Structure 1
Amino acid sequence: MRVLRRGDVGADVAEIRSLLTAVNMLPPASDTTANDTTHTPGDQQFDAVVEEAVRTFQQHRGLMTDGVVGPATYRALRGASFHLGSRPLAYMMSAQVHGDDVFALQERLTELGYDAGRPDGVFGPRTEAALRNFQRDYGLVIDGICGPGTVRALRQLSPRASGGRPVLLREQEEVRKAGPRLRGKRIVIDPGHGGEDPGIEVHGVREADIAWDLARRLEGRMAATGMDALISRGPDQTPSEADRAAFANEASADMLLSLHCDYNTSPRAQGVASFHFGTGNGTTSTVGELLAGFIQRELVARTDLIDCRTHPRTWELLRLTRCPAVRVEIGYLTNQEDRSRMADPHFRDVVAEGLLVAVKRLYLLGENDQPTGTFTFADVLRHELTKQ
């Protein structure tokens, strides 16, 4: 569908209004258009009320809060209309099924002890494998399809205890098993934008160029530690977020770091923020959240960037990447001070070192660690050469 924003009219807008009403973000059209004096039916107008409802929905779902209905927001709105049992669920390679019903299935399987991965609302091969295991254990037809019989069994078999963070335990155990050394670990470095998409551009400073240069500096440092560092795009390429996630998945990456700068209509906005997968309702990539925290602390301690903290988001790159993924917004190019910092090659060296140290801290899991901001590239190399 086309991108919809305030001022648009038509049947597509009517569908958006209907979806917003279904998730209690918008009252029925008759309640919002009593004073409508135009000749266009009120339920086909994308007005200020609809824009505010879209913003509220986006905020609740960890989407970009811009009040515009693009592909990601439309997909989330459509997915929110489904509940577990409202349709059959199955894994389809060509067009994966997504929605709140898939999310509920993943949560229920996880509570029952089956490894469906972190709940992300996408019916992928890991969810199918967990569902088949459940069907086998409970004497159901093992077809990998969540139909009425499977839904009935899932509802009858309520877990004896709920709560806790089983996904956290699994993800932390994977990090622990990987060991503290960086050597052999595969990381995808994702410089934002690129090619015909420069990203933010202010006074000749382009986000795509900054991200590319920073990615190359980080790649060199990681290669020196023995890591297998891969860059997601070439200098003249502009892959989509889905393509970047697919690149990381096909490479069987251990983690992904996406590098960006930020912007704001106010020139006073400045600082660094990190984002990990999370729905805002407690479901999160726990290792991604942990890595985002390390990155924030290291960069704030090493630079004079303001701490804009870590945040959960359901952006496509974070949602589709199977490994822990973090997007870092390093400074606002619309802020003169931040822009001057990012244009300085020495500053980018400091940022690259901070990112590397944050990754090392993740794998150390608190052992043989040093105070934030004091761990150097030389220290990391020494750790790699020392038996651990």
Structure 2
Amino acid sequence: MVECVRVGDRSPRVAEVRATLARLGMLPGYAGDATQSAPQQWSGDDDLFDPALEQALRAFQQSRGIIADGVIREHTLHVLREASYTLGARVLSYDPLSPLTGDDVGQLQRTLQELGFYTSRVDGHFGPNTDLAVRDYQENYALRVDGICGPVTLRALSYLGCRVTGGSAASFHEREQVRQAGPQLSGKRVVIDPGLGGSRTGLSVAGPYGPISEEEILWDIASRVEGRMVAAGVETILSRPRTGDPSTVERADMANAFGADAVISLRADRYRNAKAHGVATFYYGSHQGASSLVGEQLSGLIQREIVARTNLVDCRTHARTWDVLRLTQMPTVEVAVGYLTSPVDVAILTSPEERDAIAEAIVVAVKRLYMLEDDDLPTGTFSFIELLENEAEE
């Protein structure tokens, strides 16, 4: 596990980040070794984290949809290494035990999408859908059908110039699924993903009825969402048991195996002081232009409903490439319900009545997603009782 590395620190990781950013053209004026030779060499102050490197790192983080804090963390290193791959630098194939990720995979997906063979999300993750698209392409162009994107397949791809560009087949497919699913919640499948679990209980804050942990707050909201969803006829499942804490990959795998129509992931936020407060929602979106349009729509609906029903400040919706958003095959929204380092947000989140309002906002937002053109109600006015009556009428 890589510890957080900040300005002023010295570390081999700093030299790695510096060389990678230089190769990506994001660190002008770097005079060191920016090649991909192994083992990596550095000299002088290449391993010193200076302000210029922090600025370049923040720009990279911003472009990749991750929090631009200018700190070298495990996730930032992972994304940097993904970005260092260009199509042709390595052989690509599907390994279910250790799937390949990187910009080269994303480039392959976009190429296959332009040729009409790949209709899923461009996420830089070589999964079964990418494998199927490669095999389909190989079969149609009289290549050996092995799912391996090596020199022969890459050479064949480079010969093809007539492609359909613009638009997103994956986004069209998402929207069409929502339209065909109809306005009723009954029969839909939704995964509710409360954060933490097991031995990880997060921050503990003072509530009106005594201390309450971050995990308890998230579990309570998830339970309230689940109860309303079940009452509306939704097939609902929680991503973890109360005593469990599966990894992000395991949570995503479970949602994919369940065949969910949507995933609602619940998290709480924190900051180094009490000034930050408010609710924010996140959906899958990347610097490459690939995004989940239905996820963005659902994110906006949830955000507006929560803000309208509570006193939580509107921190808006944001595109991110976090694993829980990227690895799920359906529209996924992560809801950061508030800051547990803010007395204002703590007063809201420790109130059962306010948590109930948040839960109702989420369920109503999911319903409104499927109502499409029939949704003409002002935000915050559609009650759960009215939702149930609407379900009974349809």
Partner of 2:228: 221
Q: Which moved more, 1:117-126 or 1:101-110?
A: 101-110
SS of the residue corresponding to residue 18 of structure 2 reads helix
Residues 150-189 of structure 1: pairs in structure 2 closer than 5 A: 150-189=153-192
**When the two structures are superposed, what TM-score results if normalisation uses the length of structure 2?**
0.90
Query: What is aligned with 2:5?
Result: 5
Three-state SS of the structure 1 residue aligned to 2:26 is coil
2:63 maps to 1:56: no
Q: What stretches of structure 1 of length at least 5 have no aligned partner?
A: 33-39
In the alignment, which residue of structure 2 is the partner of 1:376? 383
Structure 1 position 216, deviation (Å): 0.5
Whichever residue aligns with residue 297 of structure 1, its letter is R
The residue aligned with 1:107 is 110
**1:125 alignment partner in structure 2:** 128
Flag the 1:166–1:159 CA change in 2: closer, same or farther, 3 A.
farther
Between 1:255-264 and 1:196-205, the stretch displaced more is: 196-205
| Structure 2 match to 1:42 | 45
SS in 2 for 1:230: strand
Give a deviation string over 1:218-267, Cα, whole Å, max 9, x none.
11000101111111122332222222212212222221111122222342
1:168 to 1:244, Cα distance in 2 relative to 1, 3 A: same
1:8–1:27 CA distance, 2 compared to 1 (3 A): same
Q: 1:76 offset after TM fit, Å?
A: 1.3
User: C-alpha separation between the residues in 1 aligned to 2:100 and 2:139?
Assistant: 22
Matches within 5 A, 1:198-347: 198-203=201-206, 204-347=211-354
For residue 117 of structure 1, report the CA deviation from its aligned partner. Answer: 0.8
Aligned equivalents of 2:161, 2:227: Cα separation in 1: 51
Give deviations 1:308-340, integer Å, cap 9, x for gaps: 111011111111112211101112222222211
- Asked if the contact 1:61/1:279 (under 8 Å) is kept, the reply is yes
- Counterpart of 2:24 in structure 1 is 23
Change (3 A) 1:92 1:186: same
Cα deviation for residue 12 of structure 1 reads: 3.7
TM-score norm. by structure 1 comes to 0.91
1:31 offset after TM fit, Å? 7.3
Residue 37 of structure 2 aligns with which residue?
A: none
Letter in structure 2 aligned against 1:80: A
RMSD: 2.2
1:1-49: CA deviation from partner (whole Å, max 9, x where unpaired): 63350254343432222212211233465479xxxxxxx8312233443
- The one-letter amino acid paired with 1:327 is E
Structure 2 residue 356 is the aligned partner of structure 1 residue 366: no
Structure 1 counterpart SS, 2:319: strand
- Quick one: distance in 1 between partners of 2:65 and 2:267? 18
| Amino acid across the alignment from 1:3 | E
Instruction: Using the TM superposition, give the Cα deviation of residue 376 of structure 1 relative to its aligned residue in structure 2, in angstroms.
Output: 1.2
Deviates more, 1:315-324 or 1:257-266: 257-266
Separation (CA, whole Å) in 1 of partners of 2:205 and 2:69: 21
Match of 1:386 in 2: 393
Q: What is the DSSP-based 3-state SS (H/G/I as helix, E as strand, rest coil) of the residue aligned with 1:13? A: helix
CA 78–296 in structure 1, closer or farther in 2 if over 3 Å, else same: same
Secondary structure class of the residue paired with 1:44: coil
Distance 2:18 2:384 in 1: 53
Identity %: 48
CA contact (8 A) 2:115 2:164 kept: no
Q: For residues 126 and 281 of structure 1, what CA distance do their matches in structure 2 show?
A: 19
1:67 maps to 70
Distance 1:102 1:379 in 2: 46
Residue correspondences, number? 380
